[in-house]
């Protein structure tokens, strides 16, 4: 078995579904263990992975172990299976469990790569931040990068930038969702049906994001191209400035970073 998940929450489910749908992995190549066995079994039937009754059995069967449980659960998991990880390749997607922390916990017994994913992985538009320092073999790293690349964009960052990178890419979808909801509310206020309002707003944001990404044009230049002198858009831009859109975005990141 190629991959074994410890934990099968929303992110692990999104990754599993994406890899199977993209053909990157087959059903029999992914296994998972989670303490709530009834829920695990239902997810296994829905997604096609192999359920395991214990973390120990999973670790023995998997070539690469992915820690996808809650960060606060890891120490208890390690107390149970720690020695079984000796010589194993390990990918951590648990927040805060970076290379240095794993080295301290396992004393270098396992080969480790810390990855910070985000929820758009579910539609193969994810961002996956790979911590530059790791101990995977060259072959294992190439395999990991190919897997995550099937679900979006892989970006390597030095350890000192993982937190801010993860804040922008990992928390950002929730902030973008709030913006979508707000603009859709405005559309509904002026008569758009709710479903149509969401469709218009999500496609508008998707198209705007792709335009910037693919052309690499500065967002201010793209904004200026839409703002005719004395026109409707510049009045809206002025209102966003008056009500503090930029300041609110900066404050949201500050609130996460200053926890």
Q: DSSP string covering 178-215, please?
A: HHHHHHHHHHHHTT--HHHHHHHHHHHHHHHHHHHHHH
β-strand 89-92 against 30-33: which pairing, if any? unpaired
The percent of the chain in helix, strand and coil, each rounded to the nearest 5, is 60, 15, 25
Model pTM?
0.92
Q: What is the pLDDT of residue 27?
A: 81
Q: Please report the domains of the chain, with CATH numbers, ordered by start residue.
A: 3-157 (3.40.50.720), 173-257 (1.10.3730.10)
**pLDDT by residue for the chain (259 residues), tens digit each?**
899 999 999 999 999 999 998 899 998 899 999 999 999 999 999 999 999 999 999 999 999 999 999 999 999 999 999 999 999 999 999 989 999 999 999 988 999 999 999 999 989 999 999 999 999 999 999 999 999 999 999 999 999 999 999 999 999 999 999 999 999 999 999 999 999 999 999 999 999 999 999 999 999 999 999 999 999 999 999 999 999 999 999 999 999 999 7
Q: What is the pLDDT of residue 11?
A: 92
CA distance 5 to 219: 39
């Amino acid at each position: 078995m190629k991959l074994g998940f410890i934990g099968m929450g929303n992110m692990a489910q999104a990754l599993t579904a994406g890899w199977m749908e993209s053909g990157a992995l087959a059903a029999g190549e992914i296994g998972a263990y989670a303490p709530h066995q009834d829920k695990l079994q239902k997810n296994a039937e829905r997604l096609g992975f192999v359920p395991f009754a214990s973390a120990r059995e999973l670790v023995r069967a998997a070539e690469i172990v992915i820690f996808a449980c809650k960060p606060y659960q890891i120490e208890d998991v390690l107390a149970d299976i720690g020695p079984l990880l000796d010589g194993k390749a390990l990918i951590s997607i648990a927040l805060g469990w970076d290379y240095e922390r794993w080295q301290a916990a396992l004393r270098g017994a396992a080969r480790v790569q810390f990855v910070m994913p985000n929820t758009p992985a579910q539609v193969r538009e994810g961002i996956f931040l790979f911590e530059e320092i790791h101990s995977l073999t060259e072959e294992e790293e190439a395999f990991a990068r190919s897997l995550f690349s099937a679900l979006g964009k892989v970006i390597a960052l030095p350890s000192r930038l993982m937190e801010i990178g993860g804040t922008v890419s990992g928390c950002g979808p929730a902030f973008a969702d709030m913006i979508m909801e707000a603009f859709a509310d405005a559309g509904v206020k002026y008569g758009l049906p709710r479903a149509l309002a969401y469709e218009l707003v999500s496609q508008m944001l998707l198209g705007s994001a792709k335009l910037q990404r693919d052309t690499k044009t500065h967002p201010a230049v793209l904004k200026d191209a839409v703002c005719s002198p004395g026109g409707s858009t510049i009045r809206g831009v002025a209102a966003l400035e008056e009500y503090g859109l930029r300041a609110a975005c900066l404050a949201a990141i500050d609130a996460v970073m200053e926890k």
